[in-house]
Structure 1
Amino acid sequence: MSEPPAGGSGGSEQRRRRELLQQSTRSESNGGIVRPADIYPQWEEITDQVMSAYVSQGRASGDFNSGMEDSAFHRLVDRVCDQNPHWGVPPSGRSDLVRYLRDEFFGFGPLAPWMGIDGLEEIMCNRFDTVFMIVHGKKQRIEPSPFRTEKDVSDFISRVFAAQGRELTLANPMEDGHLSDGSRIHAEIPPMAVNGACFAIRKFNPRPFTMQEYVDTGMFTEEFLADLEAWTQGNQNMVISGGTASGKTTLINAIGCLIPREDRLIVIENTKELQIETDDTLYIQATMRGAHEGAGERTITIRDGVRGALRLTPDRIIVGEVRSREALDLLQALNTGHDGSWTTIHANSAVDAISRLESLAIMADELPLDAIQDLIARAVDIVIQVGRFRGTAYRKILEAWQVFHPHQIDAASRERVTRIKEAGQLQHVRSRLYMIPLYTMDDAGVLVRRNEIIPIVGKRRRAPAGA
């Protein structure tokens, strides 16, 4: 196709497009862009035609995890553009169009420029014209919205979940999944989503934080780090608790570097977020609700994953998050020799975390309350509470508590526990559950050690490697 004369209307259109492309490039660097539809008025027609050509070449229409080689895709776009001269896309402008189309078909679609922003934590779409992002802890509205219509949002959601063999329907209007970079997505469609299709994307740091970075940023102190390493090497079972986006998963990712390389580790999650590696690490992912429904396939839950992990000979089990009946199975696993295991849980404090764990375990079976409390007392060693300061990216360890049953205290430790009780620090959570503070924050907001961990009868964890 030849380019229109520079002096005619075609030349004016090309100049306008070049200006928009330059504006787009400039905007991408500061977090906002001009949408492809602003550059190409026939954007919807272009995407439909190119996708039809892509599918007609024998590519599966649902295979959005990978695309053609760059050169082959470029040739396909060239051919379709030549067949549609009314689009007015000259050969010199095809590379930019190819880039937008690759993002649309195989990448993050309309969200591509924002997904690459440094410090991006969340993207939240309430409806097609109301989209927010959180960057370095600060929320801001994305204007103009990446989406032009309700259909744009629905198409984006459909494409993301089609790549995972799932779809949102009237019978299944809510789904959880992941993007190609590992980011987590939750989406809902009408009638559940009253104002139109909506979603939230949680983006994860591709590189786990190091322990020293946490110390340098004030997440915790050198003293806490030394104890954290001792607890990990000593195979203590730990629960990381906190609110939404408080940094629980990120912290577990970081602590993972403290696990001995020779330990066999089984990681169980709904969506793969953890990046913990030993010489022998196995990842298990539950299948989401609605996956392959109607095909006679079974939905695999986190509870199934925990039960299956027990037959895979793990040294440690890590559950990305306990939120339902799998709490009971995990507690039982922690009482059968899988020392040094971890999980996260949503809770407002370390004490609340134990209470919530108890409630979730009760949901799973009609066990007596005393039996559940005994399980928790014998299974959980330490609860670490993580907090996030609203409107900022600042996160911090707020407290760490040891969990035990009063009958587990031996004679040598009884005097220490008595002193802690007299100091008003002993927390009586339930009749069979006690907690003592290992670390709490002082009035100045500094994390301070309150007590050393107490040896507990019945919690003789396996010896560290090489001991």
Structure 2
Amino acid sequence: MILLKKNQMNRLLNNLIQVFDKYFQTQGANEIVILKEKELFLCVNGKWNEFKDEQLKKEILNDFLIFLANDREQQFNKKNRSLSTSIPGTNYRVQALHKTALNDQEFSINIRIPPKEIFPIESFKLAANLPYSYDDILNFISDRKNILISGGTGSGKTSLLNTLMKKIDIEERLVIIQDSPELRSKNKNQTSILVDKKDTGTFTYQDAIDAATRLFPERLILGELDTRNTLMSLRLNNTGHAGTISTVHANSAEDALYAMNLNIRFERDISDKTITEYISRAIDYIIQIERNKKTNEREIVEILDLKQYIKDL
């Protein structure tokens, strides 16, 4: 692994941010994709735009990836072909694949551009047949219900989570656990824990959750449920930690339940019935969000009262 000295790293970071800054500042931009040198695709308001950029030379891009790997003490090479991290000091998430993992392609770099502001709840459209109002959704937070936000890639899960966090009492003590610095809260009394993207790292979700329980949290926020943390998260919810908010990748509220079931099965051999009952005790509501590709609007299309749903099965 090539190591850059600290002053070299600082200069490189500043130079790279200058290269990307005009794209970061583009109104409505939310994703950069780089597949070859001197070119990039920028997603603006749901549409892809192609740009030629002489500054995006192969050497610059390779140095960028080496810098990111070094900053999080990761390796990015033939043996470690996936890099999941963020640009230091920002909440710009980066996912890259090594050229040896690609077919006739030099680069695969994605940079997620987060919203510059936390949206009001009204910016998320409510489906016409949804039997819940904006006030109902916000009351889930003040009533300390355990919420799971479900949606596909780019649907607005993290944006909605940040919006709901604004409803949390500013005096509450928060512990936030995430693997990318995407969640934002104005609560002064908070500990925000950043875990390694891979369980082979030095600080895993298990480490973070074990630590979080000893940090006197009044409310726990877990960025995203996956195979590494679902069972641990649900265990916390079932042991007196109310008011949690998390996200999961799924295309419907029922699919979110199925996704959690599968995540748990990666860790334990437990029956479907036992898992479903355990989940229903840990989660109160699943909020399903989608992005309308035609209008680029984020829409809350379903809210599943999980306890009632399980009772009706």
TM-score under structure 2 length normalisation: 0.88
- Who is 2:257 aligned against? 354
Deviation of 1:159 (Å): 2.7
- Partner Cα distance (2:301, 2:74) in 1: 39
Counterparts in 2 of 1:74-89, with a 5 A limit? none
- Partner Cα distance (2:35, 2:74) in 1: 22
- Partner Cα distance (1:109, 1:160) in 2: 16
Determine which structure has the larger helix proportion and give its number.
1
C-alpha distance after superposition, 1:270-298 (max 9, x if no partner): 0110002324211111023499xxxxxx5
Q: Secondary structure at the match of 2:43?
A: strand
- Who is 1:153 aligned against? 61
Q: Does 2:9 align with 1:63?
A: yes
- Partner Cα distance (2:262, 2:153) in 1: 19
Instruction: Name stretches of at least 5 consecutive residues in structure 2 with no aligned partner.
Output: none
- Who is 1:140 aligned against? 49
Q: Does the Cα contact within 8 Å between 1:385 and 1:399 map onto a contact in 2?
A: yes
Q: Secondary structure at the match of 2:233?
A: helix
Q: Secondary structure at the match of 1:127?
A: coil
C-alpha distance after superposition, 1:93-145 (max 9, x if no partner): xxxxxxxx8842xx425323222222210000122254201112221111246
Match of 2:86 among 178, 181, 197: 178
- Partner Cα distance (2:106, 2:116) in 1: 31
Q: Does 2:144 align with 1:249?
A: no
- Who is 1:322 aligned against? 225
Q: Does 2:146 align with 1:200?
A: no
- Partner Cα distance (1:305, 1:395) in 2: 31
Match of 2:211 among 308, 312, 333: 308
Q: Does 2:16 align with 1:113?
A: no
Comparing 358-367 and 380-389, the one that deviates more: 358-367
- Who is 2:36 aligned against? 127
- Partner Cα distance (1:247, 1:303) in 2: 26
Identity of aligned residues (%): 25
Q: Secondary structure at the match of 2:34?
A: strand
RMSD between aligned alpha carbons?
2.6
- Who is 2:174 aligned against? 265
Specify whether residues 241 and 434 from structure 1 end up closer, same or farther in structure 2 by C-alpha distance, changes over 3 A only: farther
Match of 2:241 among 338, 351, 370: 338
Q: Does 2:73 align with 1:165?
A: yes
| Rg larger for | 1
Instruction: Name stretches of at least 5 consecutive residues in structure 1 with no aligned partner.
Output: 1-54, 68-100, 292-297, 406-426, 428-432, 437-467
Deviation of 1:308 (Å): 2.4
Counterparts in 2 of 1:203-282, with a 5 A limit? 203-212=113-122, 214=123, 218=125, 224-282=133-191
C-alpha distance after superposition, 1:329-375 (max 9, x if no partner): 11110001111101100001011101111111121122333321221
- Partner Cα distance (2:312, 2:258) in 1: 12
- Partner Cα distance (1:157, 1:391) in 2: 34
Q: Does 2:98 align with 1:189?
A: yes
Specify whether residues 61 and 336 from structure 1 end up closer, same or farther in structure 2 by C-alpha distance, changes over 3 A only: same
Counterparts in 2 of 1:381-400, with a 5 A limit? 381-390=284-293, 392-400=295-303
- Partner Cα distance (2:13, 2:302) in 1: 46
Deviation of 1:312 (Å): 1.9
- Partner Cα distance (1:317, 1:284) in 2: 11
- Partner Cα distance (1:116, 1:288) in 2: 27
- Partner Cα distance (1:197, 1:238) in 2: 37
Q: Does the Cα contact within 8 Å between 2:289 and 2:299 map onto a contact in 1?
A: yes
Specify whether residues 326 and 60 from structure 1 end up closer, same or farther in structure 2 by C-alpha distance, changes over 3 A only: closer
- Partner Cα distance (2:197, 2:86) in 1: 11
Q: Secondary structure at the match of 1:165?
A: coil
Q: Does the Cα contact within 8 Å between 1:335 and 1:379 map onto a contact in 2?
A: yes
Specify whether residues 135 and 335 from structure 1 end up closer, same or farther in structure 2 by C-alpha distance, changes over 3 A only: same
Comparing 126-135 and 370-379, the one that deviates more: 126-135
Q: Does the Cα contact within 8 Å between 1:128 and 1:152 map onto a contact in 2?
A: no
Q: Does the Cα contact within 8 Å between 1:139 and 1:391 map onto a contact in 2?
A: no
Q: Does the Cα contact within 8 Å between 2:90 and 2:181 map onto a contact in 1?
A: no
C-alpha distance after superposition, 1:174-214 (max 9, x if no partner): 111111432100111121123112210001123211234x2
- Partner Cα distance (1:358, 1:62) in 2: 46
- Give the number of the structure with larger relative contact order, counting CA–CA contacts within 8 Å between residues 6 or more apart: 2
Deviation of 1:434 (Å): 4.6
Q: Secondary structure at the match of 2:166?
A: helix
Q: Secondary structure at the match of 2:101?
A: coil
TM-score under structure 1 length normalisation: 0.60
- Who is 1:5 aligned against? none
* Number of aligned residues: 306
- Who is 1:414 aligned against? none
- Partner Cα distance (1:144, 1:185) in 2: 19
Deviation of 1:264 (Å): 1.9
Q: Secondary structure at the match of 1:352?
A: helix
